[in-house]
């Protein structure tokens, strides 16, 4: 029974530390990159609308490979780009044209009835969707980008870790006192 409790205690410790590290990484990397975190060279973007459902759900995070100056995209590729109002949008390319030596992409959300009004210039493409999606985690990342969210996601795991440390020290002291009592008798 004691061995099982020790294993469970170690597992809980591992999970708490892991969750704290993930939250800290998400908050720090999103602040350092000025918005969306980058992992292993891929940017994580939060899906804020249903225009691409069912490809990915609102609130998901998606990974995109950042565009390079020589990047060219094909019909059917899902790209993330800045529109004329500087909004970030992720839609599928439905047509590729070359106009005056520049690539232009006509895009459409999978869940939209018609194509986007303005074509996307190649210099406005941020990156290409890499087929990696995690549903609903985007809500957490959006919250982490707020001041209250950043504080909460860093403070709460820290407090939990401190409380768990206090509990572990108390338990170790009790165990040592128990051994001293059994040896003296």
Which sequence positions are flagged as catalytic? 49
Q: In 59-146, which residue ranges form alpha helices assigned H by DSSP?
A: 137-144
Nearest CA to 66 out of 41, 88, 89 is that of 41
Cα pseudo-dihedral 120, 121, 126, 131, rounded to 10:
50
Structure tokens at 11: 């597992």
Structure tokens at 10: 């170690």
Question: 109 phi and psi, to 5 degrees?
Answer: -75, 140
């Amino acid at each position: 029974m004691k061995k099982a409790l020790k294993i469970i205690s170690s597992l809980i410790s591992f999970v708490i530390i892991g969750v704290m590290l993930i939250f800290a990484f998400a908050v720090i990397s999103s602040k350092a990159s000025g918005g969306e975190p980058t992992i292993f060279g891929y940017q994580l973007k939060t899906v804020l609308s249903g225009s691409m459902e069912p490809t990915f759900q609102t609130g998901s995070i998606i990974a995109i490979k950042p565009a390079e100056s020589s990047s060219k995209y094909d019909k059917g590729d899902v790209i993330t780009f800045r529109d004329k109002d500087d909004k970030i949008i992720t839609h599928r390319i439905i047509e590729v044209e070359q106009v005056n030596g520049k690539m232009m992409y006509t895009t459409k959300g999978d869940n939209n009835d018609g194509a986007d009004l303005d074509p996307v210039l190649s210099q406005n493409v941020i990156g290409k969707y890499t087929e990696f999606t995690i549903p609903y985690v985007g809500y957490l990342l959006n919250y982490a980008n707020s001041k209250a969210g950043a504080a909460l996601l860093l403070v709460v795991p820290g407090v939990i870790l401190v409380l768990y440390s206090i509990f572990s020290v108390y338990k170790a002291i009790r165990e040592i006192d128990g051994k001293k009592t059994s040896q003296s008798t």
